[in-house]
Amino acid sequence: MTARVSVVRQGQGPLRERVLEALEWIHWQDAVQPGARVFIKPNLTWHTPMPGVTTSPEVIEALVSILRERTPHITIGESDGGYHAFRAEEAFEKHRLYEMASKYNVQVVSLNRVPAEEVSVAIAGKTVQVLLPTLLVQQTDVFISMPVPKVHAMTRVSLGFKNQWGCIPDTMRLKNHALFDEKIVAINQLLRPRIVLYDGTYFLDKSGPMTGEPVPMGLLIAASDIGAGDFVCSTIMGVSPKSVEHFRVARRAGMMPAALQDIQLNDPLDQYIVRRFRLQRSPLNYVALLGFGHSWLTTLLYDSPIGTFLHKVLYTIRRIPLIRRLLYGRFGPPADQSGDSEQR
């Protein structure tokens, strides 16, 4: 079956109507049968709402209100911030998820506080093992991902595939980064997202996943296939899908289309391509990038007495504006950040 992707402008009028319009094109009701057990994974990369960084509460609520008419079994969840940055419950509170839970009678769950299991799957001929919550592996009929389109200092882009990295219920999931490309494809093959709704109110340019330039795009992108959705979003961003390593792994695993012509679109994409998004790594990004590809260096920098000492020094000296600018470039970390944005 040909993958379907819709791109809809938010424009005027109720947001719920625009979300429904996007979903109708991908035949969402075929995926969500009456009474289905649905899990929604927003992108809560930070504990407070940030344009171009976290999925907006308004888009989450619009989706929940639509799904609630189809099934009462809805759970929204996320893991704690990477490198002990914050507890998921903080993000739930600030993104109004508890209010939605009360209003729509849905569940909100921290994936760090439910049972988990090791699961193996073959990706392009290689056996890959990942830790995932049992809730997602065995107790979910329809997995829905709600990413925010952004550039990413480590993975070039953060879109649909990347959003599921937050399903690993371990604040030290960064220790898996040496095998990121295979593991993120494995996670998505295991969870099988049936619907992907990209909150394109803002895209994030220049730096990511936590800091950068939020670009108001006013879009909603819905996909029946995660590879097709990521292909469309990266095309809108002016980023060649062939330049993203985990897309290449996904392509070899049969989870990524080869060309835009393989996707059924509601509209030609030309009208939505308004700028080219470009990653501008900071000096500190390059240091983190070294660790990203080497497990021993990641352990040294993030999970050792030496790493603890180095981070204490970093958090102290970056209070000096000049040093902060030299290390982080012009964007810097969020003002109250205690963890590492590159490692989310």
CATH number of 3-280: 3.40.50.11440
Residue 106 has pLDDT above 80, yes or no: yes
Domain ranges of the chain: 3-280
Residue 106 has, within 13 A of its CA and on its CB side, a CA count of 34
Query: Considering only 5-9, 223-227, 286-290, which range has the smallest mean pLDDT?
Result: 286-290
For residue range 131-176, list pLDDT tens digits in order.
999 999 999 999 999 999 999 999 999 999 999 999 999 888 888 8
Stronger pLDDT, 285 or 59, i.e. the higher one: 59
pLDDT mean over 36-44? 99
Alpha-carbon gap, residue 155 to 227, rounded angstroms: 16
How many angstroms separate the Cα of 184 from the Cα of each of 179, 255, 301? 9, 12, 22
Percent of all residues in the chain with a pLDDT value above 90, rounded to a whole number: 77
Work out the average pLDDT over 318-342: 73
CA distance 46 to 133: 21
CA distance 109 to 340: 23
User: Could you tell me where the beta strands, DSSP code E, fall in the chain?
Assistant: 3-9, 38-42, 74-78, 107-110, 116-123, 126-133, 142-146, 150-152, 156-158, 193-205, 213-223, 263-265
- What pLDDT, on a 0 to 100 scale, did the predictor assign at position 338? 45
Pick from 122, 109, 32, 118: nearest CA to 71: 32
Cα–Cα distance list, 143 to 119, 134, 192, 216, 301 (Å): 17, 13, 7, 27, 34
Q: If pLDDT is split at 50, 70 and 90, which confidence band does 300 have?
A: confident
Reported as a pLDDT band with limits 50, 70 and 90, residue 334 is: low
Mean pLDDT, residues 203-231 taken together: 97
pLDDT value, residue 176 = 83
The residue with greater pLDDT, 203 or 82, is: 203
What does the chain come to in residues? Answer: 344
Q: Is the pLDDT of residue 343 over 60?
A: no
Question: What are the structure tokens assigned to 318, written together?
Answer: 């970056």
pLDDT value of residue 335: 58
> Which tens digits make up the pLDDT trace of 12-32?
789 999 999 999 999 999 999
Rounded to an integer, the average pLDDT of 307-324 is 90
pLDDT surpassing 80 at residue 205: yes
What are 74's two structure tokens? 């809805």
Q: CA-CA distance, 335 to 27, in Å (whole number)?
A: 42
In the prediction, which pLDDT does 239 show?
98
Q: What is the mean pLDDT of residues 118-127?
A: 92
Distance from C-alpha of 222 to C-alpha of 212, rounded to nearest angstrom: 24
